[in-house]
Structure formats: C-alpha cells, structure tokens
Structure 1
Amino acid sequence: MELEAKIKEDMKSFGCNCPKKIAMAYHLYINLVDEKLMYDTEYCYNKDIDTLYVVARPNKNERLNIYVPVPTDSDVDVSYIGRLQENLCTVETGSSITLAFFESDFTIVMYTFTKGLALRQSAVLSNQLKMKLERRSFINSELKKNRRDILNDALNGGAVEDDDCEIVG
C-alpha cells in the first residue's frame, strides 16, 4: 500500500483533487505496467482540461500511446474526444487517443480514437461501388461455372465461333 499511496499523492501534487480521477488513473497505470507490460509508462496531468492520463509504449520501438481513464457513467461525445486530442496529442504520440472506460469494479475496456478519419461516402458513390462489386461477383460466378470449358479451350487452342473474325495465315 505504500507504493499506491505514494503514486496517488504524486498524482494529487500535479493539481488533480478528484479522488475518483486519481483512483482510475492509478488503476490504469498499474494495469498498463503490470498486466499489459508496457514500456516507458508514465502518468501525467493536463491542468487546462483537468485530466489525469497515462502514456506508454506497447513495444520498445513504437510511439507513445495516450490512455485516458473515463468512468462508464460519464457522457462521452465527439467534442469531448476532440478536446482531449487537441490538448493531449503531440508529434511524439500521434493523433490517436485511447479511452479506458472503467466500471465501478475497476474493470477496464479500452477504445482507440484517431483524429482525421475519412468522411462517409456519398449515396451516389456508394451505389456505384455496390454496382461494381455486384458486376465483379457476377463475372467471378460465371468464370467458376464455365471454368472447365475455359480451361479445355485454352489447352486445346480453342475454337473461334464468331463470324466476324478472320484467320490471317
């Protein structure tokens, strides 16, 4: 318990006075260090958005990831995630942020959010793509159905049945 008290006191000295945030950040830190075995794991505090978070590397040569503890009973929307990314993401960490959702029993479920994902396709483009995939599927099914005939024709030189073709000798 001595280590736990020291870490929690250290988190409090950053400026965070919320016991719930400190407890979640502590459990997230311990989870990443002891269970996930991450590298360069550190807890941090951003006073502008009053957020305790943890940075860690999944592997020695990967970039730092940002992990933010969030209780499951809190409202999380796109603007909240955007605010976290704006205030926490750096060149070293990239544009992704992982929210570690905490249940009341300290069960953790993590989701990663990346800034700058592509917008949804228009209905016209979506329909064109669907038609293209349907045509490709039809052609593939016809090729499968006629595979034996196509292979025989290829092996035997094939026969040209088109009247418009002229054999040049």
Structure 2
Amino acid sequence: MDVEIKIKEDMKSLGCESDMKISLAYQLYIHLVDEKLMYDTEYCYNKDVDTLYVVARPRKNEKLNIYVPIRTYDDISLDFINTMQENLCTVESGPSINLAFIEGDSTIVIYSFTKGLVERPSAEKISENRKKEERRSFINSELVRHRSEILHDALNGGVIDDDDCLVLD
C-alpha cells in the first residue's frame, strides 16, 4: 500500500471527514518530517474545533510545537487563532501555536503566535478607542481650519456678544 494513502486513511480514522483538511495536514506532515527534519512528528485531530494538526519537536530535547495547516486564501481572524490556542495548546506545548500557510504549489510558510505576549483588547475597547481617535481627529481638523480666527481672537482679546452671555444675580 502506498505510504501517502496509508497516512491519509490513518488521518481519516482519527475522525476528520474533510479531504481538504487531510490533504493539507498530509503536506504539512511530510514537510516537517522530510524537509525540516523534526523529531517526534505526529498528526492529531481535535473534534471540538474540527482541526487536523501536526505536533513535532524542532530539536530532540525541545518542547512539542503545534502546527495547524491553513490554505493561503483562507480568512484568519484573531478569534480563530485564540480558539486554536485554547483548544490545542497544552502544558507540554506551551502557549504558542504555529499556523502553516500552504499554497497550491505546496509552498509552506509558518507563522508563530504566542498567547499572552500582548493583551488583546475587547471589541468594545477597540470601538471605544476608534471613536476617541475619530473625535480627536475631528477636533484637530477644526482647530487647524479655524487657526487664524483663534489666533486673531487670542491676540485681540476676543469679542463677546451680550447675547452669548448669561447674567447671574
């Protein structure tokens, strides 16, 4: 039996039903074994996130690294990365996850993401910061637009109309 067919059948027996995910995981597995010469390379399946991934050690005595195969044209969000980290990372592997982007010509580029280096702001905080920045930008543009008037009024003491003033008793 052909090695590729045997490995792909073994991946399918783990519970993965997607031929695309199996094909990507197989390409990544072969890349890590044959080209990167990694140690203790194994493929795994997590049914909670329906993900077929590979674990391997870059050097004999290092910790296991997690590699998730992704097509280069798939949209990846911070929520996706966070979900993968929460479901795949273990005490043995640590808080890092590697996304292996695989191109149609079998080119593989690997990016590492480590949880906890920078706190991710919540969506509400991002929206709040964006509104503050927009308001600040608006105020700055108004100040620039009315600069000459502001300077003129500041240098000449300004003029206040009686209609604008409220007399308090």
TM-score, normalization by structure 2? 0.69
Aligned-residue CA RMSD (Å): 1.3
Instruction: Give matches, 1:124-139, under 5 Å.
Output: none
Aligned counterpart, 1:166: none
Aligned counterpart, 1:17: 17
Instruction: Give matches, 1:135-154, under 5 Å.
Output: none
Contact preservation (8 Å) 1:24, 1:106: no
- Rounded to whole Å, the distance in 1 between the matches of 2:109 and 2:57 is 18
Give the residue type in structure 2 aligned to 1:25. A
- Rounded to whole Å, the distance in 2 between the matches of 1:115 and 1:76 is 16
State the identity as a percent.
Answer: 69
Aligned counterpart, 2:159: none
Q: State the Cα distance separating 1:15 from its structure 2 match.
A: 1.1
Q: State the Cα distance separating 1:42 from its structure 2 match.
A: 0.2
Instruction: Give matches, 1:1-169, under 5 Å.
Output: 2-119=2-119
SS at match of 1:105: coil
Contact preservation (8 Å) 1:8, 1:26: yes
Give the residue type in structure 1 aligned to 2:67. Y
Q: State the Cα distance separating 1:119 from its structure 2 match.
A: 4.7
- Rounded to whole Å, the distance in 2 between the matches of 1:61 and 1:8 is 28
* Structure 1: segments with no counterpart, 5+ residues: 121-169
TM-score, normalization by structure 1? 0.69
- Rounded to whole Å, the distance in 2 between the matches of 1:58 and 1:33 is 10
Q: State the Cα distance separating 1:118 from its structure 2 match.
A: 2.7
* Structure 2: segments with no counterpart, 5+ residues: 121-169
Q: State the Cα distance separating 1:85 from its structure 2 match.
A: 0.2
SS at match of 1:15: coil
Equivalent residue pairs, number:
120
